[in-house]
Structure 1
Amino acid sequence: MPKDAFALTGMSWRHRFSFQRSLAELLGKRWMEAMVPCLLLVSVLTYFGVTADGFLTLDNASTLSQNFAELGLVALGMTIVLIGGGIDLSVGAVFGVVNGFALIAFRLLDWPVPLVVAAAIALGALLGSVNGVLIAYAKTRPFITTLVTLLAYRTVAEYIDTMYSPRMATTTRIDPIWDMLGAGRLAGLTTQFVLLVVVALVVHVLLSRSRWGWRITAIGSSRTSARRAGMNLPAITFSTYAVAGALAGAAGLLTASRLEQSSASTGLGMEFAVLTAVVIGGVSLAGGRGTAMRALIGALTVAAISQGLTLQAQPRPLYSAVLAVILLVFAAADLKWGKNRGKAIQKIYMAPGRFRLRASPDIYQQGGVWELNDRLTGAQAIGLGELDGPEDVVLDERGRLYCGDRRGWLWRFDGPDSPAELVARVGGHPLGLVIDKDGNIAMCVAGMGLYGITPEGQVTPLATDVKRTWYRINDDSAIRLADDLDVAADGKIYFSDASTRFDGDEYFLDLIESRPNGRLLRYDPDTGQTTVVLRNYAFPNGICVSHDGASVLINSSNLYRIDRFHLAGPKAGQLEPFAENLPGIPDNINRASDGGYWVAFAGMRTPVWDLAISMPKFRRRMVKELPFDEWLVPNLNTSCVIKITEAGQVVESLWDGQQKDHAVITSMREHDGYLYLGGLTNDRLGRIALPQHEIPARAGSERVVSAP
């Protein structure tokens, strides 16, 4: 069970949760798009259940399921066309034509039912293909084209009604398969509903799991990008209209078998009802967005409205008026939401917290441990002109230096005066480095997780995700901002995931939000498992296993403190302060050869930022109303390294008074009498010689002894 570090923030329990942040995370979920249609459906069912006599009966449920199935099949076809960036206004007319044709083939021509079924679906596909040819290959406009074919197909439906309805009215035929289609049941459910479920599952799989579906979505999202990607736009567009016609034909067939009659008005206005259904279900009229399941939610809503108004004996024009209002509202909402959803989420996604900080120590006091000096000024440059942002540096037993840079590369230097050697291209943004028990390099990569690299350059992902927290709205299984790490005596790797809400290039947003979004993770190389050790920690940055191996030291960049988490002994599992109220932003921490620890300050605290941290409303308004380059942010351009004892006492500080070569120092590593410096925005590594009195005789590569 991970330990909760929320109490370190000093915030009360009611600040643990934020309605604003929860709302932003909910709005960012794809399934939230189905919430409004679901609420509308529940409201419609509740309203008619209360006001319409017989609405909640089994007989009505059976009738509703049949109407829903027929409308749903057409809605699925319309969904496919809309996702592909088109529109089909002829589906109602295709429905009517196939309905009449099926009755002619069954009653007058005495075709076998399987042949009638196949011919009806084929006819629907043929009528849809006419639209597809004109739109995909003749390059006509979908709206105008399908409006014309609607009129043409409606004329055919009227011709069928005029020429064949009188003969069909005097002809009867009984067939068990036909009756099964129209009035049968499977497992207690109407045949039409079962068929709809099967077709819906197939369409869902095709749209979400097949190349055909992915290409339809790509074309609807951006035809230009899809064309440049080499997709066959005419063929894919043609197929959407053919499938839509086939589904409309299947719906017309089911209606023919159920009602056993046809007229010129069959399917009249269906295109309007279907459009309303898919728009209610969140299918975008602009293309590129929609799902089969949400389209069915809209179809069920429209079918329920129709059935409810019928039971209330309301005039048919009222049904059209209701659909018109719903279509208008949801179409406008779809356009508005599509344009402004991202902006709305962005404005409320950051929910600043309020940390309680003590006054910062005075670093300008003369003669104190914080007195400014130039001990880092003039540090020997390593890799000048070859590196770009080496955040951390580590040395192996042979004294070779390794560092990453923000291009995603891992570099090696055989010595401080040697040229750089490219070891591996990892990707992401390499941050913390350590040599593991096997002599390989373990690396924290922002945006990717924990990776292992052999000296020969073979890259292996070690930990990219953990078990998701069940009660979190956002999926926190991905390791988004792996920052720093260290290896314990048993070979397990402890590393920080600084934020579960922001990626590596957005780390400053987490600093501004100032909430405990981070966690401490542990990777076990023997099992390959990664577990959460601490959660709700405020921007855990540097990680260092203590000299005796019995605890892990954790730097909190947001709280300006270092904490100790006990791994062994009587305090195992406990978290306690190690060094509090530091005047700077602690970044990496590493062991010193004299039994103490080196800590890098990426920046220094300022009175203005300390005040801003206590004013969440100010920071929220700043993010909303000011452009990015005018935000107030923590100071991140002051170079400083401090040494701290095992008891947590700061004993010295090292500064670069000129701030020319090492404007930002994010890490340091002691090795054989030298201190090596890394910086997130620097173009080099640095090296300074340590005074002899600071280097015990045992100095060399830092090691951890086994915990007692």
Structure 2
Amino acid sequence: MSVASSSVNGGLLRRLRYRYSARLLLSELLGKRWMEPAIPFALMIGLIVWFSMVTTNYATLGNAQQLGREFAEAGFVAIAMALTVISGGIDLSVGAVFALANLAALVFFQLYQWPVGLVIVATLAIGAGIGAINGFLIGYMRTRPFLTTLVTLIVLRATVDLLGQHFSIPLAMASRTSWTWDVLGVGWIAKLPSNLAILGIVAIVGHFLLSRSRPGWHLTAIGSSRKAARHAGIRVERVLFLTYVMSGTLAAAGGLFYAARLQSSGSDTGIGWEISALTAVVLGGVSLAGGRGTVARALIGAVIVFVLVNGLVRMGFPGALSSTALGAVLLIAVGIDVKWAKNRGKAIQKIYVNPTMVELPPSPSITADGGTAFAENTRLQASEEIGLNQVQGPEDIILDRQDRLYCGTREGWVLRFSGPNFEHREVFARIGGRPLGMAFDRDDNLIVCVGGMGLYGVTPAGKIYKCTDQTQRSLLKLNDDSRLRLADDCDIAPDGTVWFSEATIRYEMHSWFLDGIEGRANGRLIAWNPKTNKTRTVIKNAVFPNGVCVAHDGRSVLFCSSWLCTIYRHWIEGPKAGQTEVFAENLPGYPDNLNRSSDGGYWLAMVGIRSPTFDLMMRHPDVRQRMIKQLPPDEWVYPGINNGCIVKFDESGRALESMWDPGGTKHATVTSMREHKGWLYIGGLENNRIGRVRLPDADPAWNGCDAYWGAKS
């Protein structure tokens, strides 16, 4: 192999190494909520495999069915405990409720000979009643969950002992049978033990209630911060009351199935089940601090505890050893839970930013005597000022048919300036998120990309409505990219389709600059059709797609790739429909918004200027990785953002001229510009003003609304 080919192959391997980073995969895995119980799940599988290897006939269908029947009752109790722990509390009475429900079900069925349906209702009502007492004291009287349920445990255990002594002999002599009762205890549903099948149904319903319903969200919010939940308008007392009612009901359901299966009650029934349930939920990943956990995690932990205890018993170990092992597991689980909950965010933060290799050719000259269209000048320093110190961060600006000027602000507002010299300032709309790119549709509705929220519209009367906040999810991505994180800029095609960019799916509005340090293809170009209300991702894996502009003929869409210093053209009509090609490349800075000019060309804002140092760093991801690990953010190397620059291109992508503000005296970070009736209006992400400069050769009657939709009478 020649030296040249070896070098090429080495470079290719290096690029592939950074593109498909193991750190990237690990960071995205750790960021997924379903990865939190990954270790407990692996432990569960490991225990099952181990006992299958060391225990005779363990891995048989018959044994699995029997174990499933025995486990189901513990599963109900584990879910009961999980609900209270997620709420930020605890229920130490679940074992005693289980025992009382078991005894009550037997008395109702065997001695009172009630119908099975009535037995079920009465037994569950007992559990719900006890839960209501706990819930009233904890929710409305604001007593401590630990002490409250501990007292309930003591009282119920004493009650079970007294009633057990009274009913033990009559129960031992009773022999009533019922087909329905037998189905509850030893029956089958779809080839599954009946109690296990019902547990599965309860688990599925519980999962959707916790993760997809308002009561579940309220419960999680209360567990995270009861004070914040109350300030958010959540009825904390009622939610806690209903949580403990549900806990008691589920524990009673476990006792009901236990009674139907074994047909007996003893003084030791349910003893220690509260500890087993607590161990299960913590081991499964339900946080003792509250606010984090699922039904599935509780059941994973319950399986671990059940398999461990059952396996040790089958291997001949004494019960004391099993209890000791269970206690040790609980201590370890609590330690891991506290440690991981405290440091998980830090661990993800340290490995989440994964720089990749970005290789750019040498930048074209920008020196004043360089002889290029990018030659530095001072044309922007002569700009007039609009709204000086009255606006914060007008990232994009646009004008309507009445010559009124609109811009977004850092506060989440859309401001409107009007009057002969734009002296009148008003808040046109309070959207909430950061307004970025804007465009007027055919009906003069203002379509706005809102960072962190999606695509929104504002009617001429100032009424806000949502266009879309999600697109289809990519099947091969770990991160759920259906939600729009950073809708950036938009434009509208002649058929009304809104084309907009989403700069990154890995970072939020407050951390977008990390995408520049990373340099990965985290963005996409998206289209929203207002006629069908359908949103679709047209181009995936784009490198920070930013400004979007529909071409003058409406047959293609131009969009910028900031970190690649390139503008692309995507064809939406004609023989090239669906194809994407380079419109302009190797720009001397990082392109932002892109808009039409009156002579058939395009204006481009460059938010930052390239430097040899940063270009070199972009070719060396390891340097950037060490930089973000070892240096505070205010010492990181960034592109130059203290030189405002606007470039004009013709229809073929050839740079014609540029306007500069060296040193950023008036416009340090230019992110947008609009031509309107002979003037060029200028916005900037970090600026405290809007600027405008006269264009002596421009059409003094040309404006964007008429150019897109035609003049209105």
Deviations 1:538-572 (A, max 9, x none): 11222233344443332221012223333445444
Q: Find 2:467's aligned residue among 455, 462, 475.
A: 462
- Mapped pair 1:533 → 2:538: yes
Aligned partners of 1:567 and 1:662: how far apart in 2? 34
Asked if structure 2 preserves the Cα contact closer than 8 Å seen for 1:545 and 1:704, the reply is no
- Mapped pair 1:358 → 2:361: yes
Alignment-mate amino acid for residue 558 of structure 2: L
Q: Find 1:581's aligned residue among 578, 586, 589.
A: 586
Deviation, structure 1 residue 43: 1.7
Counterpart mapping for 1:640-679 below 5 A: 640-657=645-662, 659-679=664-684
**Which position in structure 2 is the counterpart of 1:290?**
293
- Mapped pair 1:639 → 2:660: no
Alignment-mate amino acid for residue 192 of structure 1: N
Counterpart mapping for 1:537-552 below 5 A: 537-552=542-557
Asked if structure 2 preserves the Cα contact closer than 8 Å seen for 1:555 and 1:561, the reply is yes
Alignment-mate amino acid for residue 81 of structure 1: T
Counterpart mapping for 1:151-190 below 5 A: 151-162=154-165, 164-166=167-169, 168-190=171-193
Counterpart mapping for 1:257-656 below 5 A: 257-364=260-367, 366=369, 368-369=371-372, 370-407=374-411, 408-656=413-661
Asked if structure 2 preserves the Cα contact closer than 8 Å seen for 1:388 and 1:406, the reply is yes
Asked if structure 1 preserves the Cα contact closer than 8 Å seen for 2:359 and 2:615, the reply is no
Total equivalences in the alignment:
696
**Which position in structure 2 is the counterpart of 1:4?**
none
Deviation, structure 1 residue 339: 1.5
SS at 2:36 equivalent: helix
**Higher RCO, 1 or 2 (CA under 8 Å, sep at least 6)?**
1
Asked if structure 1 preserves the Cα contact closer than 8 Å seen for 2:404 and 2:416, the reply is no
CA change 1:131–1:432 in 2 (3 A) is closer
Deviation, structure 1 residue 678: 1.6
Alignment-mate amino acid for residue 381 of structure 2: T
Deviation, structure 1 residue 430: 2.0
CA change 1:456–1:11 in 2 (3 A) is farther
Deviation, structure 1 residue 222: 1.8
Q: Find 2:707's aligned residue among 698, 703, 708.
A: 703
- Mapped pair 1:680 → 2:685: yes
Aligned partners of 1:546 and 1:231: how far apart in 2? 49
Aligned partners of 1:630 and 1:657: how far apart in 2? 23
Deviation, structure 1 residue 265: 1.9
Deviation, structure 1 residue 418: 4.4
Deviation, structure 1 residue 689: 1.7
SS at 1:376 equivalent: helix
Deviations 1:113-142 (A, max 9, x none): 455444443444455555456555665543
Deviation, structure 1 residue 535: 1.9
Greater shift after overlay, 201-210 or 593-602? Answer: 201-210
Asked if structure 2 preserves the Cα contact closer than 8 Å seen for 1:404 and 1:411, the reply is no
Aligned partners of 1:545 and 1:209: how far apart in 2? 39
Aligned partners of 1:632 and 1:688: how far apart in 2? 32
TM-score (normalised: structure 2): 0.88
Asked if structure 1 preserves the Cα contact closer than 8 Å seen for 2:403 and 2:418, the reply is no
Deviation, structure 1 residue 478: 2.5
- Mapped pair 1:96 → 2:99: yes
Alignment-mate amino acid for residue 77 of structure 2: V
Deviations 1:314-362 (A, max 9, x none): 3223322332232222222211222222222222222111100122233
Alignment-mate amino acid for residue 591 of structure 1: R
CA change 1:67–1:642 in 2 (3 A) is same
CA change 1:311–1:54 in 2 (3 A) is farther
Deviations 1:57-95 (A, max 9, x none): 343233212211111121122112212222223332333
Greater shift after overlay, 136-145 or 179-188? Answer: 136-145
Asked if structure 1 preserves the Cα contact closer than 8 Å seen for 2:525 and 2:537, the reply is yes
Deviations 1:371-404 (A, max 9, x none): 4322221311122343222222333445443333
Deviations 1:192-222 (A, max 9, x none): 2233234434544554455554443333222
Deviation, structure 1 residue 310: 3.5
Alignment-mate amino acid for residue 382 of structure 1: I
Deviations 1:31-78 (A, max 9, x none): 223333322222222222222112233432332122111111211221
**Which position in structure 2 is the counterpart of 1:5?**
none
Aligned partners of 1:551 and 1:672: how far apart in 2? 25
Alignment-mate amino acid for residue 62 of structure 1: Q
Deviation, structure 1 residue 456: 3.1
Asked if structure 2 preserves the Cα contact closer than 8 Å seen for 1:519 and 1:535, the reply is yes
Aligned partners of 2:66 and 2:19: how far apart in 1? 50
Q: Find 1:38's aligned residue among 12, 16, 41.
A: 41
SS at 1:555 equivalent: strand
**Which position in structure 2 is the counterpart of 1:3?**
none
Aligned partners of 1:293 and 1:221: how far apart in 2? 19
CA change 1:286–1:359 in 2 (3 A) is same
**Which position in structure 2 is the counterpart of 1:689?**
694
Aligned partners of 1:72 and 1:509: how far apart in 2? 44
Asked if structure 1 preserves the Cα contact closer than 8 Å seen for 2:452 and 2:487, the reply is yes
Counterpart mapping for 1:114-133 below 5 A: 114-129=117-132, 131-132=134-135
SS at 2:334 equivalent: helix
Alignment-mate amino acid for residue 289 of structure 1: R
Deviations 1:479-514 (A, max 9, x none): 322222333444433322211222233221211111
Deviations 1:566-605 (A, max 9, x none): 3445444333333222222222222333443322221211
Asked if structure 2 preserves the Cα contact closer than 8 Å seen for 1:401 and 1:415, the reply is no
Asked if structure 1 preserves the Cα contact closer than 8 Å seen for 2:543 and 2:563, the reply is yes
Deviation, structure 1 residue 279: 1.7
SS at 1:666 equivalent: strand
**Which position in structure 2 is the counterpart of 1:193?**
196
Aligned partners of 1:119 and 1:403: how far apart in 2? 64
Asked if structure 1 preserves the Cα contact closer than 8 Å seen for 2:415 and 2:425, the reply is no
SS at 2:670 equivalent: coil
Greater shift after overlay, 484-493 or 280-289? Answer: 484-493
Identity %: 48
Deviation, structure 1 residue 515: 0.9
Asked if structure 2 preserves the Cα contact closer than 8 Å seen for 1:124 and 1:245, the reply is yes
Aligned partners of 1:290 and 1:658: how far apart in 2? 52
CA change 1:79–1:530 in 2 (3 A) is closer
Aligned partners of 2:663 and 2:184: how far apart in 1? 86
Aligned partners of 1:490 and 1:245: how far apart in 2? 59
Aligned partners of 1:527 and 1:106: how far apart in 2? 59
